[in-house]
Each structure stands twice: as C-alpha cells, then as structure tokens.
C-alpha cells in the first residue's frame, strides 16, 4: 500500500498495519492509504475478517496536531471510521501502548478490541479545547453515558484493566501474545457463516449514523474556530500550559 500502511494476509484474515513513527499519528499520509486499504478489503470476497494493528511501541497516539488549523486534506478521520464501522466483515483492533484521541476512535470503529496489559486509552481532545468527533456519539453505547462523559470531559487516559472492566475492550492479554490472541479471535469469527455474521453486525449497528453523527460533524468545525481551540493547539505545539479564555 505505502510506507505508512501495509496489508498482510493470514488465511481469510487481512491485517492492516499502520507504521508512522514515532507515535503512528493519523496524518494525511496515513489516512489516505488507510482508507484505500479498508475499501479494498471491504470489497474483496476472499477476506472474511479484518485486523487493525500498529507497528512500534504504541497503537495510535491521535491525530497529527501539526495539521490542525490547515486546510483539511481528505479523507478525514470521521470518514475513515464511518467506512470501518459500516464494513459487514468483522473487524478486530489489537491495541498496545497508547490509543488516544483519533487512535481510540479508530479502535472504536472496529467491532472488537483486544488490548495488551500495559495499554492506555483515552480521549484528551478537551485539553485542546476540542471534543472527539466520533467517540462523542458512540462511546456511551459501549460504556454508558456517565463513563463516556467522564472520559470525554476530563480527558484522562485509563488503563487496559479499567477499559476491560467497563467494556471498552473485549479482553486484556500479555503484550507478547497480543497479536496471536487478536488473530486467533479474528480467525474464529472468519470461520463462521459470513452471511450470519454480517447480519448480526447489521442488527447490532442498526440506527447508527443518524442525526447524532450529523451533530458531531457540524460541531467539530465550530469548536475549531473557537479561540480556546486555537490556544489549546498552539500550547500543545509549543509545549506549554494553555490559557483558555472561554
């Protein structure tokens, strides 16, 4: 695919691997081939399940903050996650290190999430004066409204153990067995009747993508125009504490 995104096959399972050192930020150079890979695998009848993994010491530490404030290059993360969520084939995210912001949202777009014992996940966008564009309308369906509000409004990361306790990840495994566990799980699903699996996914996801998604799409640009968001992004890039005026 590219130097940033690769696809490997293991039987009926295809694994997309993101490799954008040092933290696998979701820059345009990652988003474009990632979207291409998802669409290609979605339309490939020989693929029964899809895995999402990342090279290096972390999953995805979020968006590429250096692109904030610049004309947005397509595809946007929300479009990618929308495609990922709509794929009829089962998808499994293998989370290690940190999955923050857009990284966690990418994992949330998958049907299942497996994490290693040292992983941390979170939605720190509020610390930049922003909110997560996808998780804000999906997370409460997974962990409940109160916990979703806590994660989104405080912005603090949680451990893999806590993520498993609240149902954010399916299971936590030792780091050196993460990919083996994720692949074994994906292969078990891939062996099931494909139409039944696709229909189960469709039934569980019925009703998603309606007005609540449109609200998120409309709300994010509004936040980006606010003075606090500009200050939050500037402070992050300058490695200083932001001075929000609200």
> Peptide bond before 75: cis, by omega within 30 degrees of 0?
yes
Cβ–Cβ contacts within 10 Å for residue 196, how many?
A: 9
Reference 99, options 31, 145, 52; nearest CA is 52
Rounded distance between C-alpha atoms, residue 168 and residue 123, angstroms: 13
* Cis peptide bond upstream of 136, omega within 30: no
Query: For residue 220, what are its two tokens?
Result: 């994010």
Cα–Cα distance, 225 to 17 (Å, whole number): 33
**Backbone dihedral angles phi then psi of residue 58, each to the nearest 5 degrees:** -145, 165
Q: Is 105 a residue of the active site?
A: yes
Q: Is residue 238 flagged as an active site residue?
A: no
Please pick, among 105, 150, 187, 238, the residue that the annotation labels catalytic: 105
Scanning 14-155, the segments in alpha helix (DSSP H) are 28-42, 77-86, 102-108, 135-143, 145-154
Q: Yes or no: say if 83 and 38 are a contact pair by the CB < 8 Å rule.
A: yes
> Catalytic one among 32, 76, 125, 164?
125
Distances from the Cα of 139 to the Cα of 34, 146, 153, 218, 239, angstroms = 22, 10, 12, 18, 29
What is the separation of C-alpha 231 from the centre of its chain, rounded to a whole number of angstroms? 25
Write out the catalytic residue numbers.
105, 125
């Amino acid at each position: 695919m590219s130097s940033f995104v690769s696809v490997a096959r293991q039987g009926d399972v295809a694994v997309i691997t993101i490799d954008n050192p040092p933290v696998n930020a979701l820059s345009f150079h990652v988003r474009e081939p990632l979207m291409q890979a998802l669409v290609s695998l979605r339309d490939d009848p020989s693929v029964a399940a899809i895995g999402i993994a990342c090279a290096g010491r972390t999953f995805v530490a979020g968006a590429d903050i250096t692109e904030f404030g610049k004309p947005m290059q397509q595809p946007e993360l929300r479009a990618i996650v929308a495609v990922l969520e709509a794929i009829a084939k089962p998808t499994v995210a293998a989370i290690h290190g940190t999955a923050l912001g857009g990284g966690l949202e990418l994992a949330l777009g998958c049907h299942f999430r497996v994490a290693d014992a040292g992983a941390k996940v979170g939605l720190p966008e509020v610390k930049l004066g922003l909110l997560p564009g996808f998780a804000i309308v999906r997370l409460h369906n997974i962990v409940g409204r109160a916990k979703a509000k806590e994660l989104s409004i405080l912005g603090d990361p949680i451990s893999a153990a806590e993520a498993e306790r609240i149902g954010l990840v399916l299971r936590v495994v030792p780091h050196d067995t993460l990919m083996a566990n994720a692949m074994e799980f994906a292969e078990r699903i891939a062996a099931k009747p494909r139409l039944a699996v696709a229909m189960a996914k469709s039934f569980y996801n019925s009703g998603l993508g309606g007005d609540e998604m449109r609200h998120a799409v409309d709300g994010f640009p509004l936040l980006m125009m606010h003075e606090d968001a500009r200050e939050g992004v500037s402070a992050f890039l300058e490695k200083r504490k932001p001075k929000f005026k609200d």
